Structures are given as C-alpha cells and as structure tokens.
Homo-oligomer: A and B are copies of this chain.
C-alpha cells in the first residue's frame, strides 16, 4: 500500500447527480453506513456540522424564550392513538417494541416518530391556569420513521432533529408562534446556511398529520429538485381536545390551549450539500464549517516554514476555527483533501512567501487566490469568511431564480419540467383533484402557497377554473 492514499475523484454531478451526492457524503467523511438498514453513522466531521447547526439554532430558540426538555423515546400504542389523524399518518411507519427483556409487552411501544402525543400528555399534567401559559418547549433528539427507501441525511430510518412544542392561551398567539418559528428557520437558512428558501403554507393534502395548518420553507437543489427544509405547524385546539389540555382563564372559565410544533433535522446537511457543493467535493458556508481555515505549508521541511505556519495558526485560532496540516503528505494531496471537505479558506505558505512576509489565501467556493500581508492575515481571513458566507447565498439565490419558471397551462408546465426543472409558479383553483392530477401527470407536487403571492394568470393551471392561489410546484426529495 502506498503511504499516501490518493484523494480519489468523485463522480461529476452532470454525469450522475445521485452518485455525486453519495460520493460526497462518503468521501468528505460525513457518514458511514452501518449494518442497520437505513441508519447512518454520523462521523466526526459530519457530526461537527450538526453541532454547529444545533448550537446556533439553540441560541436562537433560547433567545426567544424557549426551554429545552427531554421526553421518553417510547410512546405507548394507546397514547399514539388518541389523536385520530395523527395516528393514521404515523402508525404505518413506526418501529414497534414488543418485548422488554424476556417479557412480552401488553401495550406495544412505538419508537417516537415525533413527540406531539408525549408533549400533550405532559402539558395536560402541568398546565392548569392562564398563569402557566405559554409553555415554549423544545427537544433535541433522534426519531425513527420506517422508510422503505433511504438516503443519507435526506431520508433515513433514524435521524437527528429538534422538535419545538408550544401551548398558548389563544389561537392568535399560537398562530404568531407558528409563523415566528418559520421565520426563524428561514433567517437561519439564509444567514447561517447561505441557503435561500421560499416561505409558504402547505396545501391541505401536504400538511402534517393532525395539523390545522402547516407552513414550510422550501429550498432548491442543484439538480432542480425541491427540498422541504423545515416545517412549522399550527394544531389549533385539536390535540388539546384529544388530550384534554385545559386551563382556567382570567374569568375563571375553562379553555382549551392552542398548540404548535416545528422542526428541522439533519436533512439540512443534505440541503447544504446539494445547494453549495461542486465536482471537487463539499462546499461549506463558514458559519457551519468545522474547519474554516486550513493552513498548508509548502516545502515544509525548509527551515522556518513550520515555525511560521504555527505562528499564523496561533494567531488565526483567536478569530476562527483553524487547523494546520503539517503531516508528511504532499501539498497537492492536502489541497484536494480539504477541497473535498469544503474548508472555506486554504492558506498556502512557503519559503518565498515567508521571505516576502505574505501568504496566499485560496477560496474554496470560487478557487480565487489572493496574496495578503502576514501582518494583516487575521483581518483578511475574517473579511474573506464574511465574503464567502454572503456570496454563497447570492450564488444559490441566482441559481434558484434561474431555475424558477412560470406556467399558465399544463403544456407550459410540462415543457418547463423538461427544459429547466426547478420551481414552477402556477395558479391553482384550490381543488385537491387538480393537485393530484398535476402530481400524477408530471411528478411535481405542490411545495407551498408562498406568503409572497404573485398573479401569474386568472385561472387554475390544471382545470382552467378561477384560481385561488399561486402555488410553487416542483419535484421533491
């Protein structure tokens, strides 16, 4: 075996998008497969991205008064069945625990696919008076959904997520919370993940099992497919009635609470990959890059090179997440390796650079190189990181816009899918039959009814009857 394992090239996304994606998740060391069907192992580099997402989201949740809790991972079958729509939606895809040790259980336990029922049961115990409201709880955990076909990050039997569950005194407050959390997700996606999203409401067909309304953020991948990236649900008082969650209001009258839930998951990492990465591997926005800067010494055996590199490393470590690779692998190998891992900035430093009191900064996203003075390096790196963060969002937005079309009738609709697959804006009469027909005929589903409505035409793209809403359609993951 050669000492230096080559950084092998990956399939290009133009040749085979699915294989390109799989190559990246494996070769950037994000995940490994396990012997459990559909369950992935999050390796240190992949988990570190999740930790950065988690930390920054958690800070946002706490800043707006949310508190973390932990609920059991099991739900007794009898509890799951309390809300009719909810159990119908989830029962077909849950894992059932039937035995504890040698003992057969009388009430089977499902491994949580989501925890509305557990939160409801708890709220019914702890909410008594208007003084107890609102309760703004969140939990970080893993959930299980028994999917038939799975793909790392996008759809797996088990995945990590956060699920917020809140109860409020009034319908208005619950609606405010639902929208506030959707806005939080959208802002997080844009500012932290450099990922533009469309905010909107799901149609009844696409809403969450048991919800009154579901809101979503939808993003567009390189291949023109949509990814539902986060959802926020308003349950109204449906669950409250099923679980008897009542409080005494200021006039001493019993009232039902109004409830919301909202969640994002490791799926966001799949989104990151398919929005930013390229044929050299992963591309990461600086704010979620476990390594923001990699220092690669050139001719590192020459006197003074490693010393200088360490000095720079020390200085940069005060302002960003930086590593120095002083292993005995060649600079070329290192360049490819950290490109594969999506490290936003590479610092190249050789004897001649040191002589000239300079270093080269190479951007992962564009490949551009700039030479900077060593005395300015911390400032230059920080401003470049900011620049990358913003220009990734701009690039992704431009891509998404170029892949967004309008269609006034089904012929246009189908043509667009053939020529420029992406988001399609088209009017809809509000009838589920048309929604189903479009899905059957084209494979595109309604992604959402955007908050920012446009007037594409007067009539439904499918049936020609008067239109109620503009819907964004697309083939989806």
A interface residues, Cβ below 8 angstroms from B: 1, 32, 34-36, 39-44, 47-48, 50-51, 67-76, 79, 92-103, 109, 111, 118, 121-122, 125-126, 129, 137, 141-142, 144, 146, 157-158, 160, 248
Contact = CB atoms under 8 A, between A and B. Distances in A.
A158 B72 contact: yes
Contacts of A72: 34, 36, 39-41, 158
A73 B145 CA distance: 13
B70 A95 contact: no
A121 B41 CA distance: 11
Contact of A69 (B43, B75, B137): B43
A137 B95 contact: no
A99 to B, nearest CB: 4
A166 to B, nearest CB: 13
A2 to B, nearest CB: 11
Contact of A32 (B79, B95, B125): B125
B70 A121 contact: no
Nearest to A327: B131
A32 B76 contact: no
How many identical chains are in the complex? 2
Given A41-B71, A126-B32, A146 B79 contact: no
Given A41-B70, A42-B69, A72-B158, A34 B100 contact: no
A35 B76 CA distance: 8
A41 B118 CA distance: 9
18 contacts: A1-B129, A1-B248, A32-B122, A34-B71, A34-B121, A35-B121, A36-B74, A36-B76, A36-B109, A39-B73, A41-B69, A41-B71, A47-B67, A48-B67, A73-B111, A94-B101, A95-B99, A97-B98
Contact of A160 (B70, B94, B158): B70
Nearest to A99: B96
Given A44-B69, A95-B100, 8 more contacts: A34-B121, A41-B69, A47-B69, A72-B158, A73-B142, A92-B101, A93-B101, A94-B100
A67 B95 contact: no
A96 to B, nearest CB: 4
A43 B41 CA distance: 29
Contacts of A146: 100-101, 103
Contact of A73 (B50, B93, B144): B144
A121 B33 CA distance: 10
Contact of A97 (B34, B93, B97): B97
Nearest to A45: B67
Contacts of A68: 44, 47-48, 51
Contacts of A67: 44, 47-48
Contacts of A248: 1
A128 B74 CA distance: 38
Which 7 A-B pairs have CB atoms at the shortest separation, nearest pair first?
A: A39-B72, A44-B67, A42-B70, A100-B146, A96-B99, A101-B146, A36-B72
A35 B119 CA distance: 11
Contacts of A118: 34, 41
Contact of A74 (B70, B122, B126, B158): B158
B95 A97 contact: yes
A43 B126 CA distance: 11
A77 B42 CA distance: 21
Given A122-B32, A129-B1, A39 B97 contact: no
A207 B95 CA distance: 33
Tell which of A67, A73, A118, A125 has the most Cβ of chain B within 10 Å.
Answer: A73
A335 to B, nearest CB: 19
Contacts of A109: 36, 95
A68 B109 CA distance: 29
A141 B32 CA distance: 18
Of the candidates A42, A70, A122, the one having the most CB atoms from chain B within 10 angstroms of its own CB is A70
A41 B68 CA distance: 11
Contacts of A121: 34-35
A97 B157 CA distance: 13
A248 B34 CA distance: 23
B94 A36 contact: no
- Give the most central of A34, A144, A248: most B CB within 10 Å: A34
Nearest to A75: B36
